[in-house]
Structures are given as C-alpha cells and as structure tokens.
Structure 1
Amino acid sequence: MALVQRAAPRLPELFGFAKRSLKSLRFPGESLDSSSSPTLAYGIHVFHCPDAVGIVAKLSESIASRGGNILAANVFVPENNHVFYSRSEFIFDPIKWTRSQMDEDFNKLSQIYSAMRSVVLVPDQDPKYKIGILASKQDHCLIDLLHQWQDGKLPVDIACVISNHERGPNTGVFRFLERHGIPYHYLHTTEENKREEEILELVQNTDFLVLARYMQILSGSFLNSYGKDVINIHHGLLPSFKGGKPAKQAFDAGVKLIGATTHFVTPELDSGPIIEQMVTRVSHRDNLQSFVQKSQNLEKLCLSRAIKSYCELRVLPYEDNKTVVF
C-alpha cells in the first residue's frame, strides 16, 4: 500500500480515531492564499516517521527539485521518543509538478524513512471534506458552523444536519438549511433506541462527523461501524460540574475561569485526543445570562478552530492519547 495519500474526502481512513484503540491513533487537515502568482498552486505535506538524520533536508530537496518553494515548515521531534513530525506549506507550478509526480516523489521519501504517515493536500485541486453535523436542542454551535460555512470560512461541505430535537419549518435553522439545500433529519431518540443505525445510513458518505452540542452518547458499536473521525465539543467549566445545567452550577459556585474543549470521540467517554482548548475569565460582575453567553461563545470558537485545524492537516497523533497541533 502506498504511504503517500492525498488528503481528499474519499480517503477518510487516514484518520480513524473513532474505531481505533488509543494505542493506534491516526490523523489529519490549511488553506493559504496562493495568489502570489496565477500559475502557482498551494500545497501541504505532513510527514510522520521514525527520527533520522537529514529528513528535513530530503523533504526540502524533494520540493525544491521540482521548482517548488517552501512557505512555512514546522517540525517536532519529541525528546527520547525517536519519532519525527513535520508539516510543510509550499507553492509550486502544477504544470511542471503534476499531482501524480508529487505523490510519487513523496512516496519515495516514505519508503526511505519507513513513514507511518505521509499526506498531501492541494486545496485548489482536492474536493473539500464532506461532514455531517449532529445537534440537539442548543443551537449556538450549529448556527455558528452554518454561518461560517456560508461565509466561506469553514473549508467543508455540509452533507446533512441530524438532530434528536425537532425544529419546525418556521425556525431560523430550518429555513437556512432549506434555502441552501442541506438535508435536515429529525430522529427522536429514547434511552432504548438511539437511532444509530439510521444515523449511520444518513452519514455513510461523509468524511467525518461533528457533534455540535449533540447530547447523546455514541456507542462503541456506532464508532466502529462508522469507522471515521468524530469531533466533539463540550464545556470545560473550571472546576468541572457534571449533570444538568452545568453553567448554572458553576455560576452559583462563583467560579472565575470557564473553558471549552474539542476532542476526538473514542469508545472511552470524553477521553479522546484533545484538538483544541480555550478559557476565558468571568467575575462577580457577570449575571447568569452573561455567564452563559461567554461559555457558549467559547464553545463556538473552540469547535470551529478545531475543525479548521483538522481540515488544514494541522493535527497529528502523538503517543497513546495526545496530539501534535501545528
């Protein structure tokens, strides 16, 4: 099997956090402005292999020998771990360096260094990732993702929105989805029936899923059957408060710092690799309404930033349950 693979939606098996144990994580997704020349294209390459002398030089040579120019490069070599991570952004002439030749060149490097991961992405040539969004009653994360997608700030195609909360035809979300031709599916769930088989049927052609405050636990069976990555957002109220109305619990306790965490969903509840975390301060001047608003704003920003990082190939697996985020 070729180790070099294009980071296109048709290759979701590149990532596979959902169905893998924490011992065998795999990862991803930037999109820069390549307008410096109308003839140039922009590409990204990520590389993960055992550490060795000269890898950076060989990567640079591979790009430069085809007339490409590196715009930015990030390297991480953890101490005493003997592994190498890199993410390179480069511009190139797509006529002089064809995509098939690019794959061949990076594949040679993969073979030389026994790479665990070598992924190429050319945003102007590759289709966008196709995602499914799952949501419950709270709309703030869902609405934010829809607006960012509409404004071209979210580099994905939304295949569908699924919810266990019914939204009528007169609601803003329903009208937005209808106007843009995005299917909306309401699936009433119970403790006995989470409707997972129907969800699987609806999302079978997606590349990853986003839980935009979806208040249902996805089973290990669902994750294994889906076989691709699922990204989740939840509050990170500090100190943590469990159960119903966590924001009110935290407000009543007078906390001074609140947060949000975006992570991959694994069979271990809320234990998947973390992609993004954010915090903000609250004070005695906040009432419950402003407290909740700050928490929700943080969740929106944390989720959208994580999705962009994923799609821009900024996230790589590290050790059993960590991530390198360039």
Structure 2
Amino acid sequence: MSLIRRRVSSSLPRLSKFAIRSFKSLKFPGESLDSSTSPVLTHGIHVFQCPDEVGIVAKLSDCIASRGGNILVADVFVPEKKNVFYSRSEFIFDPVKWPREQMDEDFFKLSKRFNAMKSVVRVPDEDPKYKIGVLVSKQDHCLVDLLHGWQDGKLPVDITCVISNHDRLPNTHVTRFLERHGIPYHHLHTSKENKREEEILELVQNTDFLVLARYMQVLSGNFLRAYGKDIINIHHGLLPSFKGGNPSKQAFEAGVKLIGATSHFVSEELDSGPIIEQMVERVSHKDNLRSFVRKSEEVEKQCLAKAIKSYCELRVLPYEVNKTVIF
C-alpha cells in the first residue's frame, strides 16, 4: 500500500533555532526586548485525527497563530485512499495571552468542526505527569532502567507503584531504591488458578497507563476491559517471530544474525497488539547464549524507554485495526 506523507513544515511558521534556546528568551514581534516585560513562552503539543478534507492544516495553524502562538514543528500523515488525516504539532505560546482553558476550548471547536476521532493537547510544563503502574516478574533490567530514567527526569512519568508476582528481599538494590523514593512495592503471588487481577486493578485504578516491564503473566481480556486504558509491553524479540516463552533461546537456536525487541500495546491475543517501537542489535557466531541474552536485555531497556517517552510526548496514534502512526 502506497502512502502519502505531507511534510508541512515549509508552509507553516517554523522556528527551528528556538529549539536550542530557552523559551524565556523568545519575543513576539513588536514587543519590547526588555526582559522585565518580555513574555515567558511555554511549549505545547497537539495531536489530531479526523476524516481528511481540504483546509485542516490551515485551520490548525490559524488556531495557534490567532492566539499569538507559533508552530515549531508540524507533521502530517494521510494514507492513500483511506480518508483519514493525522497530525502532530509542537508550538510555543504565552500562557497569559492564551490560558489553558481557552486553549482547550479552541481545540475543542476545531474537533467539532472536523468531526475528529482524536484531539489531544498537552502542555508538559503545566500538565501533571502521566501516572503509571509498573508490573514486573523476576527479571530486573527493564524495571531498574525505568527507575533510573524516572529519577534522572528522562521519562516524563510518575511511578505510582511497582507490582510483582515474585518477592524481592528487603535489602536488594531495587527494594532500597523504591523505599528511598517512597514508591510502593506490592508482591502478589500468582498461580494458574488465581492471577490476582482484581487486586492489581485496585492498585492501579488511578494510573493513566500501565507498563509491563518483563511481566511474565498473561493478562486476561476481562482485566483489559476492566482497566480500559493503554498497557505497554516489552517483548524480547522482533514480533511476530519467536512468540511465547523463552524467545531468546528460540532465536539463538535458530541462528539469527539480528536480535531485537518490540514494544507494543497489550491486546487479548498474545504478543499481537499494535507495535510502538522496535530495535535491533547484531549478533554473530562468536556470541554464546549468555552474551546473546545480555545484548537482548540492553535492546529491551532502550526499546521500552523509547516507547514510553514517545507515548508521553503524544507521538503514538492508532492506525487501522492493528497499526500505529508514530510521529
């Protein structure tokens, strides 16, 4: 299937130099250069999905410009013969001139005008961070990477809890980290007869989405429907290859030359949800199973972190039944 990809950055105001400057240094045309009167500009993101028609880009641009805002980056995707329009815009604005309530109202009017299926605006410096729950089993590498990314401010999330079906001793580096930062840790022993899903639901009811950081339990369709929000999983393999248990061993025995990881949304069918991110790493005959697994774990950590960051930056949009648009 051929695709039409509109690059609109040349026709919309784009201030690429601003990306390396503080927003505090930005001035609107005609305003004083006196730092005491210059506006403090804020960064916003807007994503839009609606039936395709003429004039959408112009209206989106005018909505932002009419309030004194300026577009930094705009990206549009229109699949051929699908009659659907996707866009993601990053812009700067003066929150005094364009209060958040007014911004929401303006984009809501656009949403109604174009019968949008999705219209989301986010102001990272003002909006609360996404609250996430992390589910993990015995392996720690993805969990530790997420915790360090959160601590360093590289992941724009607040971790509300960590839930595991394996207990961790009180004096391990993970439990010490969680205790030091006040992140609750819940050990829920599971069995084939009892996956403890009702208790998990109770613990994550106030989260915005969930992350399965090598959680080796299959969540039921009932759980997915009851939770009703997105769940991001990491699979140590390039789906759809090597599904199910021990895919690293499967790939090693198959003699592959490229290994990888796939981050995807969880669906009722095992390891078949829409893909968000994939990464690869080269291996060779010189690798034994231990080095093979070590390389695989490194790719998994990077792939999961990239998927979470992309999701929080509104770069991920649903496309057709089982695909995603990633800006």
Name 2:23's counterpart in structure 1.
Answer: 36
How do 1:102-117 and structure 2 match up within 5 A?
102-117=103-118
In 2, distance between residues paired with 1:237 and 1:261?
Answer: 6
Q: What secondary structure is seen at the aligned counterpart in 1 of 2:23?
A: coil
How do 1:1-326 and structure 2 match up within 5 A?
35-37=22-24, 39-236=40-237, 240-241=241-242, 244-326=245-327
In 2, distance between residues paired with 1:48 and 1:68?
Answer: 21
In 1, distance between residues paired with 2:219 and 2:296?
Answer: 24
Cα distance 1:231–1:79, how it changes in 2: closer, same or farther (>3 A)?
Answer: same
Cα distance 1:33–1:153, how it changes in 2: closer, same or farther (>3 A)?
Answer: farther
| Contact 1:238–1:259, Cα closer than 8 Å, also in 2 | no
In 2, distance between residues paired with 1:65 and 1:45?
Answer: 16
In 1, distance between residues paired with 2:136 and 2:277?
Answer: 20
Name 1:6's counterpart in structure 2.
Answer: none
Which amino acid letter does the alignment assign opposite residue 103 of structure 1?
D
Instruction: Name the Cα RMSD after superposition.
Output: 1.6
| Contact 1:34–1:40, Cα closer than 8 Å, also in 2 | no
Calculate percent identity across the aligned residue pairs.
78
Deviates more, 1:142-151 or 1:230-239: 230-239
In 1, distance between residues paired with 2:243 and 2:49?
Answer: 37
In 1, distance between residues paired with 2:262 and 2:241?
Answer: 12
Number of corresponding residues:
295
| Contact 1:34–1:42, Cα closer than 8 Å, also in 2 | no
Which amino acid letter does the alignment assign opposite residue 45 of structure 2?
I
In 1, distance between residues paired with 2:246 and 2:107?
Answer: 50
| Contact 1:46–1:85, Cα closer than 8 Å, also in 2 | yes
Cα distance 1:266–1:67, how it changes in 2: closer, same or farther (>3 A)?
Answer: same
Which amino acid letter does the alignment assign opposite residue 299 of structure 1?
E
| Contact 1:238–1:255, Cα closer than 8 Å, also in 2 | no
Highest RCO, 1 vs 2 (Cα 8 Å, sep ≥ 6)? 1
Q: TM-score, normalised by structure 2?
A: 0.87
Which amino acid letter does the alignment assign opposite residue 95 of structure 2?
P
Show structure 1 runs of 5+ residues with no match: 1-31
Cα distance 1:238–1:291, how it changes in 2: closer, same or farther (>3 A)?
Answer: farther
1:94-145 deviations in Å (ceiling 9; x for gaps): 0011111111111121121111111110011100000000000011101100
Q: What secondary structure is seen at the aligned counterpart in 2 of 1:102?
A: helix
Which amino acid letter does the alignment assign opposite residue 269 of structure 1?
L
| Contact 2:263–2:303, Cα closer than 8 Å, also in 1 | yes
1:163-198 deviations in Å (ceiling 9; x for gaps): 001101111100000000000000110100101111
| Contact 2:23–2:42, Cα closer than 8 Å, also in 1 | no
| Contact 2:243–2:271, Cα closer than 8 Å, also in 1 | no
After TM superposition, where is structure 1 displaced by more than 4 Å over at least 4 residues in a row? Answer: none
In 2, distance between residues paired with 1:261 and 1:119?
Answer: 26
How far apart are 1:238 and its partner, in Å? 8.2
Cα distance 1:242–1:309, how it changes in 2: closer, same or farther (>3 A)?
Answer: closer
Q: TM-score, normalised by structure 1?
A: 0.87
Q: What secondary structure is seen at the aligned counterpart in 2 of 1:77?
A: strand
Name 1:28's counterpart in structure 2.
Answer: none
| Contact 2:237–2:248, Cα closer than 8 Å, also in 1 | no
Q: What secondary structure is seen at the aligned counterpart in 1 of 2:24?
A: coil
Larger radius of gyration: 2
In 1, distance between residues paired with 2:308 and 2:156?
Answer: 9
In 2, distance between residues paired with 1:307 and 1:286?
Answer: 30
In 1, distance between residues paired with 2:199 and 2:65?
Answer: 49
How far apart are 1:259 and its partner, in Å? 1.2
In 1, distance between residues paired with 2:288 and 2:305?
Answer: 26
How far apart are 1:240 and its partner, in Å? 3.5
In 2, distance between residues paired with 1:238 and 1:121?
Answer: 31
